Chains A and B, each alone.
Chain A
């Protein structure tokens, strides 16, 4: 009954998921992942699963990007210190 809405949400998920794979830099990948989390929550809402959408919002829009960005920072820092020491 809401076919156009479901199609739009599915296309958005497919587009952002493809972008998340295609982008190479981890920091930019985290940005695309945050958008993917939001779009997935919208898809779950459109498919009448608001409980799944709630948990997806909580995890996907804030927690996953935070974890990825913290790990990226941790991995990059020692490199910078070595460069300054040289």
Chain B
């Protein structure tokens, strides 16, 4: 094990472990937020794993998760809109904390990769991850008023 896989283990145990607990218990608004954060925490963990195993092709996994994670959350935001409108989640502090963690991981992996084509790919993953996370959080808290008429 090296430093990258240790960091990935910590991110999985603390971050994803907390979201598994959050999605299994509590009211619906907590569960949708935990589901959203689980993808935005697993994606940096996959980036750390690809760096730890020294296999740049594993970045594809993080790219796919950064793309599809927010899509999954938007599915819930759209189909649970009636339940969420009565009791909307407001957890911007947590969302920004997870986005900052994702940005820190992307920057660390970018520094390790150095200037190359892989760097561009990592930056795309980071932009998709943070943008998708913020968009999905906004959709969950009812930010897009037009989508309420489901």
Contact = CB atoms under 8 A, between A and B. Distances in A.
B60 A61 contact: no
A1 B53 CA distance: 11
A66 B72 CA distance: 7
Contact of B69 (A27, A32, A45, A61): A61
Interface in B79-93: 79-80, 83
Contacts of A22: 24
B111 interface: no
Interface in B10-28: 12-13, 16-17, 19-21, 23-24, 28
Contacts of B76: 30-31, 34, 65, 69
B79 to A, nearest CB: 4
Given A31-B76, A45-B49, A53 B61 contact: yes
Interface of A: 1-2, 4-5, 8-9, 11-12, 15-16, 19, 22-23, 27-28, 30-32, 34-35, 38-39, 41-42, 45-46, 48, 50, 53-54, 57-58, 61-62, 65-66, 69-70, 72-73
25 contacts: A1-B1, A5-B12, A8-B13, A12-B16, A16-B23, A19-B24, A27-B80, A28-B28, A28-B31, A30-B76, A31-B31, A32-B31, A34-B35, A35-B34, A38-B16, A39-B38, A39-B42, A41-B42, A48-B53, A50-B55, A50-B60, A53-B61, A57-B68, A58-B64, A62-B75
Interface of B: 1, 5, 8-9, 12-13, 16-17, 19-21, 23-24, 28, 31-32, 34-35, 38-39, 42, 45-46, 49, 53, 55, 57-58, 60-61, 64-65, 68-69, 71-72, 75-76, 79-80, 83
